[in-house]
Amino acid sequence: MRALRIAFALMLVGALVLLSGPQQPARAQPQTIKIGILFDQTGPFSAAGSLNGWRGTKMIIDYVNERGGVMGKYKIVRVDGDSQSKAEVAINEAERLLNVEKVDILAGVYSSAHAVPLAEKMEKQKKFFWITIAISDAVFKDRNLQYVFRPQPNSGLFGAVSVQYIAAYSQEKLKKAPKDLRVAIIYEDGPYGAGVAASNDAEAKKLGMQVVLKEGYSVSAPDLSSLVTKLRAARADVLFHTGYNPDIALFLRQAKEQGLRVKAYVGHGAGHSQLDKLKEAFGNEIEAFHTVDPVAAQLLDPKTLKPGVGALTAEMVKRYKAEFEPNMAVAAIAPHVSMGFSNLWILLNDVLPRAIQKHGGFGPDALAKAARETDIPEGGTMMGYGVKFYGEGQPMRGQNERAFVAVFQVVGGKFEIVYPKSVATAPPILPLPASSPWAAR
């Protein structure tokens, strides 16, 4: 009887198997990493470089995903946010990306006025924040941040290098020793402008220059004519200016109308690096204007970089011309495109693989540990600089200590590198040519 019950049970199991059909092998769900990309798609910051930063970011994510994702298997899900060039909107968008979209990482951010409060918010929530554009020292200075990292150069470098450049050519080109130069510093009064201006001021005084005016203004000011009047009275040889886009155009128009004259005009990134926008407003009158920024990747000799890095630059250029501006000259592609592309590449190619393989995943703590271990030598990124983040006990913890900037000048209608001399692609034009409406007579 027992044998019959066993036989019956076996028959029942077999029948159930037949009824259920052939067994399908379990399919692994595709693995994804959600990255919130926060830039100013609209508003004045968009034209000052934010949109170009987003373009670079989008292209590198597309490139990685087409090759199977991070490590060939983790696809990136890009979730965009628009800060609308307003700090309060940036904070709200970050909250949406983190708490509604449930992104694993927040990346991007153009404006330092947005990056400073966002860094504090991300730190309190213990979320990983990767800044690719905003440069203010105030993001990190004396805050001992654990989850915020920036491969991008900081504002202190921008302000110091522009002054060092003028000092290097002061006697030869301007026929004055640095101690005899009269310099003026104007800036938008947010964290970005104030940070660069403070560095301008400190370096100029260190080198013995005469700072005859240092004054900030609101980026939304409708009229800058009183500032122009003060500059005329100050009789500066060199003007250092840090601003965004509409404010730069407003200042230059009013300076031209009121007859402001200087021997050299030096800008610092943002709107000064958007050559196409400056040309739209002033045409060839911007000849010999300067800007300070990381080197646009396409201007570097790929032979000076780690093998394979130059190929990434070629990929960026090809994609940019195919997707955004097919008629733009390669040399004229704004450096903010390179910043978006290269600085996110560091996260996708260096930090994320190590976080997953060594630290167990891509949660905030694993990412922070992996970022602190980043050690890329000079020439290892598209921008030419290496990457090593300041660590525990450093006032700028989380900032890339190996980043550097260069001075560019509009020469023959396009940007050339004029400083440092070791990487210069053209000699500087100093003083401003007589054809410039802002040139000292």
User: Quick one: which of 139, 24, 222 has its CA closest to 396?
Assistant: 139
Domains of the chain with CATH codes: 31-153+315-372 (3.40.50.2300), 156-293+405-423 (3.40.50.2300)
d(CA 203, CA 196): 11
Q: Is 195 left (phi over 0), alpha (psi -120 to 50) or beta?
A: alpha
Q: Which residues sit opposite 400 in a β-bridge?
A: 389
Q: Which residue has the tokens 């860094």?
A: 119
**Per-residue confidence (pLDDT) for residue 275, from 0 to 100:** 85
What is the tens place of the pLDDT at every residue in 35-67?
999 999 999 899 888 999 999 999 999 999 999
- Both tokens of 327, joined, read 């008629």
User: Coil, strand or helix: which one is 18?
Assistant: helix
The answer to whether residues 247 and 188 touch, using CB atoms and an 8 Å cutoff, is: yes
Token pair of 108 as six digits: 């991007």
The H-or-E segment that residue 418 falls in is strand 414-419
Q: Which candidate, 388, 380, 302, places its Cα nearest to that of 342?
A: 380
Residues 6+ apart with CB under 8 A from 226: none
In this prediction, residues 403-413 reach a mean pLDDT of 94
Name the CA radius of gyration of the chain, rounded: 26
Task: Give residues with Cβ within 8 angstroms of 65, minimum separation 6.
Answer: 75, 76
Helix axes 364-372, 352-359, angle to 10 degrees: 110
288 closest CA partner among 435, 425, 78, 398: 435
Q: Give 154: exposed, middle or buried? Use CB within 10 Å, 0-12, 13-18, 19+.
A: buried
State whether residue 221 is helix, strand or coil: coil
Distance of CA 88 to the CA centre of its chain: 21
Nearest partner of 336 among 315, 351, 316, judged by Cα: 316
Q: Is the pLDDT of residue 21 over 60?
A: no
Cβ neighbours of residue 174 under 8 Å, at least 6 residues apart?
A: 166, 181, 237, 238, 263, 264, 430, 431
* Cα of 192 vs its chain's centroid, Å: 12
Q: Apex CA 345: angle with CA 343 and CA 351, to 5°?
A: 95
Q: pLDDT tens digits, residue range 345-404?
A: 999 999 999 999 999 999 999 999 999 999 999 999 999 999 999 999 999 999 999 999
> What is d(CA 98, CA 36) in angstroms, rounded to the nearest whole number?
8
Q: Is the pLDDT of residue 30 over 70?
A: no
- In tens, the pLDDT along 253-303 reads 999 999 999 999 999 988 898 888 889 899 999 999 999 999 899 988 899
